[in-house]
A = this chain, B = another copy of it.
């Protein structure tokens, strides 16, 4: 008998055997993985490998032999003293998840989903993605020896898919919108039995992101932060982080999870969850045409939107947005204080953190963790526009000396 107890519908609570299944037959709600957790304690993990697979007992893979790892996870939790000082916080940490093997947090869910595809004996994997997820899925597919199919709209730039193509993925470039690519991926996944990580493998996929909670808890010596700032696109990651902390409390590794505050950060131009939160609604109204530089968060109709709203209620949370100017300023602030170079999604987190401090919603002594989940090298064009090209100097020491303090 495996450690997964069952899959359970998040809505109607119907239980299912843990098979290649992701949606409730009765009410179409998402299925979550529930476990029979073994007895663990702090020492269980302390001398393990330095990847998120150190928590394998708490992840939905029954046999360790099915793990497909490229060394992701256990990214640094940086004590951000300089950024903290700039913002007026004494106890600020950055979870720098740009330092994964494919350079975003997506190595977590993609790695778990590809491992589960191996456990299920599937013949191929894939995803619908235009960015970070494509690379994470393709890299894990390469390591796991799976053919990989990436479904994306055809207007995506060649430069943006070069990384994923390098890993050997087959690109299905669809003449249509992202929604078209997504629909085709779902249909092909179902008819060919291909594990589309963010669609028909989603129940297992989202489990990877909860390691962002496990690692932060362990890196804080099994304490729960007071404040967490989480960038939100579909909302799956924020929901998974909450699940992660709850599971650690269930196995008695931490306590007082109910005291933490969850802050959802979205970009202006695609902030449907923030809008719903501020209007005190329980449902999210989709944004028709997202308009933001934070492309990796530009999901107009967030699948987990309503669950994020519930989480914010449950965990005394807030939702806030930041505009393009604030995002760019925040990217530079983070780079110039902590030496961390992030993509716009990371700028959204830091900009919203700043706003929360300015509005007095975070106490300066609170233990605050800000998640930075993607890499600035993937979006250099955004920064090139705001950083002036240096003036050319004559190769004359005397003249150049005058420039140097």
Q: How many residues of A contact B (CB 8 A)?
A: 84
A143 to B71, Cβ gap below 8 A? Answer: no
From residue A359, how far is it (CB to closest CB) to chain B in Å?
27
Residues in B whose Cβ lies below 8 Å from that of A191 = 401
Residues in B whose Cβ lies below 8 Å from that of A124 = 404-405
Per-position 1/0 for A391-405, Cβ under 8 A of B = 111110100110111
Q: How many copies does the complex hold?
A: 2
Residues in B whose Cβ lies below 8 Å from that of A143 = 82, 337-339
CA distance A63 to B258 in the complex (A): 41
B174 to A393, Cβ gap below 8 A? Answer: yes
Residues in B whose Cβ lies below 8 Å from that of A123 = 405
From residue A382, how far is it (CB to closest CB) to chain B in Å?
9
Which residues of A, 144-177, contact B by the 8 Å Cβ criterion? 145, 147, 149, 154, 158-159, 161-163, 165-168, 170-176
The stretch that binds B, out of A96-104, A199-207, A269-277, is: A96-104
A50 contacts partner chain B, Cβ-Cβ < 8 Å: yes
Residues in B whose Cβ lies below 8 Å from that of A76 = 50-51, 71, 101
From residue A153, how far is it (CB to closest CB) to chain B in Å?
9
B70 to A338, Cβ gap below 8 A? Answer: yes
CA distance A347 to B74 in the complex (A): 26
A390 contacts partner chain B, Cβ-Cβ < 8 Å: yes
B395 to A184, Cβ gap below 8 A? Answer: yes
Residues in B whose Cβ lies below 8 Å from that of A392 = 154, 173-175
Per-position 1/0 for A183-204, Cβ under 8 A of B = 0100110011010000000000
Per-position 1/0 for A87-115, Cβ under 8 A of B = 00000000010011111000000000000
A188 to B401, Cβ gap below 8 A? Answer: yes
Residues in B whose Cβ lies below 8 Å from that of A100 = 99
Choose one: B171, B378, B401; the contact of A377 (CB below 8 Å).
Answer: B378
A22 contacts partner chain B, Cβ-Cβ < 8 Å: no
Interchain residue pairs with CB less than 8 A apart (26): A50-B74, A70-B338, A82-B142, A103-B377, A124-B405, A139-B335, A142-B336, A149-B404, A158-B389, A159-B384, A162-B380, A163-B377, A166-B331, A166-B376, A166-B387, A167-B336, A168-B335, A172-B390, A174-B392, A174-B395, A184-B400, A187-B397, A188-B401, A188-B404, A192-B401, A192-B404
